[in-house]
A and B are shown apart, each in its own frame.
Chain A
Amino acid sequence: MKQPKLAAALSCFIWGGGQLYNRQRSKAAFFFIFQAFLIGVELVSGNYFTGSFQFREAGFFVKGIWGMVTLGTETAILTDQGLTPGDHSVILLIQGIIAILILGIFVSIWVMNIKDAYYTAKEINEGNGTIISSKKWLLKTWEHSFEYIVMIPAGLMLMMFVLMPIIFAFLVAFTNYNNSNLPPSNLVNWVGLSNFKFLFSMGGTEALGGDIWLHTFQHVFLWTILFAIVSTAVPFFLGLFQAVILNNKRVVGKKVWRSILILPWAMPAIISQLNFQQLFNGQFGPINRFLIDKGWIETPIYWLSDPHNPWLPRFTILVIGFWLGFPYFMALMSGIMTSISKDVYEAAEIDGANERQQFWQITLPLVLVATAPLLVMSFAHNFNNFGLIYFLTEGGPINPNFIHAGQTDILISWIFKLTLDHRLYNMASVMSIIIFLIIGSLSAWNFTRTRAFKEEM
């Protein structure tokens, strides 16, 4: 007779202990390797044998947790021997997140190991002492949790390269990590919600800049919304229009026309954007040169940098966005149009519907139904269309009433400047959280409404 509770307790302390008690040697070794690895990494990466214990010199996992809680306790100080090492709060925080995520994996293996010991012991009792071989167990697990096993590599990658950075970016919003408090000569601290209060404090004094932050945020936010809506809607309808023209039965050589028209989509966007930045250059740009040569204008137009009229650069950006954006919708919609069954049109013709009626009553509704879900995706994409702004204007021209933002900056390019140029990391993270709440909930709402998602019921 095996005692399930004893098996579980053994596995609790020595991973695989319960399995050994259940006489499943390979399985025991499998679990034990994880424990050995965990403890091995901790001991090798730490400095445990010097006599005096310090968290700073602990191994990867213990130090990680300590670092995340305290964000370091000693700054680097300049002495006769040079800079003392000190604690680098940000590296501590990130390594802490990494350590906790990896620990999370190990904890789930540990739980699995205890559960397995308990249930196997029970099974052995029920089967009157017959022991399932490890090999059989492996096959059974493979069949039983195939879907989870397949997801492991992708899941680990998502955790490390997608989730971990987001957790960090999220947590920074609750610290005072910015240009006046940079590690390693300063320590970063947890400050709770004060960054959010700072952004929304209307009554903030001018010196603190409370007003200018909110002011900038409001303007940049409105422009971002306008930018995202227009640069989604107009290419959508332009694409629709172009697809209708292209699919007209009178057009000969459809393939050639389509190949030309999808070029903006096929070209790498960054190249087109940098190219447009040059074409619309105020001083030397060929477009201005052409217009002056023709005598249509006398002084150059500062398409992307007019300091007096912010709407000119904004308008130029939008138009360039149309150029870049319509081919995708055109390709998409002409794909849908050709997939509409010919019988539908034949039936309509027989019923006496003319071309216009066919378009309004058949083509358009079908295309709109199929593409509407993509509009939200496209909106989300444009909301964060960093390249279009940054490579055309770098957010300029300057607006002195904004804090670190230009006339054409959208939220994402403002965040870029706050992060990389001005090192206001905490405020940049506050912005990120706000944008995420908007975009995230909008997309979540959209996805839960799609057919693909509802089918999962």
Chain B
Amino acid sequence: MATTTKSLGMQGAGKRKIDTSQNTKSKIKEFFITFAIYAELIIVSIIVLFPILWIVGSSFNPGSSLASSSMFPENPTLKHYRTLLTETNYIRWYANTFKIAIIHMTLSICLSTSMGYVFGRFKFKGKKVALLSVLVVQMFPSFMAMTALYVLFLTFNLLDNHWALILCYAAGQIPMNTWLIKGYLSSIPKELDESAMLDGASKIQIFTKIIFPLIKPIVSFVAVTTFMTPWMDFIFPRLIISTNENLTLAVGLFDMISGETQNNYTMFAAGAVLVAVPITIAYVGLQKYLIEGITAGASKG
């Protein structure tokens, strides 16, 4: 079989060599295709980069209003960064968000890997119903739920406390991440666990020594996505956090352009750049894992 295909391939190559006029034609065609591909890439890159460069450029503008800002300011200044760091609670917000993100990430990894392990490796009563209901129930779209959470934290004295945010984020992330990890686990042969069990390993040992190292790619995906949540969430901290020092970044930034003083665009830009840079670097740097993560989620879905 292998030899026949090989010889067929040789025949094809020979045919191509003979036809020289065809060859120049295809060279021109080849050139145009390459040209078109690069043109497309450059145009799309400009479309992608323009808004991003705009916000970066604006953050160096001397003025504070949107109307006067431009992408390449004539007198670039770091004034807004300085004001942001010295006159607002920006550093506090940053530290708060960072703290929440780290704890949330750790908690989520613990919860979702253990849940993923249980759902991926064990058969038990009510598994199917549990799997389906956790995913569907959380799709209930409601801001009334916020009222309930508000009263819950009021009852247990957790208002204006970062733990309220952490617990809610972590709970909300459980279903999706459990599914992801469960899906990834299904690609890892069960024989590994079984042979370890024959060697006398406990379920916990199997999990920490065998399963966890193998699911690291999907765990890094979960880590990045859960780390991101507090940086983006807006409504919930707005409701739960009441003192300015306890705010998270998204709320603080939103207030800069939609509060009473609407003309703080450039300061918003500076703040946004400071948030976006580390996150974007993390995303781009970890893109291998991220793509692996979503691909795994998709192909096993």
Contact = CB atoms under 8 A, between A and B. Distances in A.
B104 to A, nearest CB: 12
A305 B74 CA distance: 31
Interface residues of A, number: 106
Contacts of A257: 41, 45
B203 interface: yes
A261 interface: yes
B5 A350 contact: yes
A300 B232 CA distance: 31
Given A147-B122, A275-B272, A415-B141, A157 B111 contact: yes
A400 interface: no
Contacts of A98: 152, 155
A440 B134 CA distance: 11
A263 B137 CA distance: 32
Given A157-B171, A161-B171, A275-B54, A412 B141 contact: yes
A161 B168 contact: yes
B8 A259 contact: no
A148 interface: yes
B66 A439 contact: no
Nearest to B111: A154
B283 A274 contact: no
Interface stretch (B80-88, B208-216, B286-294): B286-294
A350 B171 CA distance: 53
A284 B67 contact: yes
Contacts of B54: 275, 279, 286
Contact of B34 (A250, A258, A384): A250
A154 B178 CA distance: 10
Interface in B42-72: 44-45, 47-49, 51-52, 54-55, 65-67, 69-71
Given A248-B37, A374-B301, A429-B144, A331 B111 contact: no
B263 to A, nearest CB: 9
A137 interface: no
Interface stretch (A3-11, A26-34, A162-170, A193-201): A162-170
A418 to B, nearest CB: 8
Contacts of A455: 186
B14 interface: no
A389 to B, nearest CB: 13
Interface string A294-315: 0000000000000000000000
The interface centre, meaning the residue of B65, B234, B291 with most chain A CB atoms within 10 A of its CB, is B291
Interface string B259-276: 000000100110010011
Given A94-B151, A157-B174, A370-B298, A251 B37 contact: yes
A352 B47 CA distance: 38
Contacts of B155: 94-95, 98
A455 to B, nearest CB: 7
A339 B298 CA distance: 12
B55 A419 contact: no
Given A154-B174, A278-B265, A456-B131, A440 B140 contact: yes
Contact of A439 (B70, B141, B179): B141
Contacts, number: 275
A452 B287 contact: no
B138 interface: yes
B147 interface: yes
A428 B142 contact: yes
B174 to A, nearest CB: 5
A446 B136 CA distance: 11
Nearest to B156: A98
A375 to B, nearest CB: 10
B144 A162 contact: no
A290 B138 CA distance: 44
Q: Among the interface residues B151, B167, B275, which one has the most CB atoms of the partner chain A within 10 A?
A: B151
Contacts of A268: 228, 231-232, 250, 275-276, 279
A265 interface: yes
Contacts of B9: 349-350
B12 interface: yes
B192 interface: no
Nearest to A97: B148
Contact of A432 (B33, B131, B141, B291): B141
Interface string A247-280: 0101100000111111111111111101111110
Contacts of A332: 291, 294-295, 298
B37 A331 contact: no
B204 to A, nearest CB: 9
Q: Which of B139, B234, B250 has the most CB of A within 10 A?
A: B139
Size class of the contact patch on chain B:
35 or more
A443 interface: yes
B139 A440 contact: yes
A272 B56 CA distance: 12
B23 interface: no
Contact of A258 (B47, B51, B287): B287
Contacts of A231: none
Nearest to B71: A286
A443 B135 contact: yes
A191 interface: no
Given A420-B143, A439-B139, A447-B132, A275 B299 contact: no
Nearest to B296: A335
B143 A380 contact: no
Given A161-B168, A166-B145, A278-B265, A371 B118 contact: no
B108 to A, nearest CB: 10
Nearest to B284: A259
B167 A161 contact: yes
A187 to B, nearest CB: 17
Interface in B95-126: 111-112, 114-115, 117-118, 122, 124
A91 interface: yes
Contacts of B148: 94, 97, 164-165, 167-169
B218 interface: no
B196 interface: no
A271 B186 contact: no
Interface in B159-202: 167-168, 170-172, 174-175, 178-179, 182-183, 186
Contacts of A157: 111, 167, 170-171, 174
Given A146-B118, A165-B145, A331-B290, 5 more contacts: A146-B122, A151-B115, A163-B137, A278-B265, A371-B298
21 contacts: A146-B203, A150-B117, A158-B174, A160-B171, A167-B148, A168-B148, A169-B140, A172-B144, A262-B287, A274-B254, A274-B272, A332-B291, A332-B298, A335-B295, A384-B141, A415-B143, A435-B141, A447-B132, A447-B135, A452-B300, A453-B131
List the 5 closest A-B pairs by CB distance, nearest first.
A266-B283, A165-B145, A169-B144, A161-B171, A284-B67
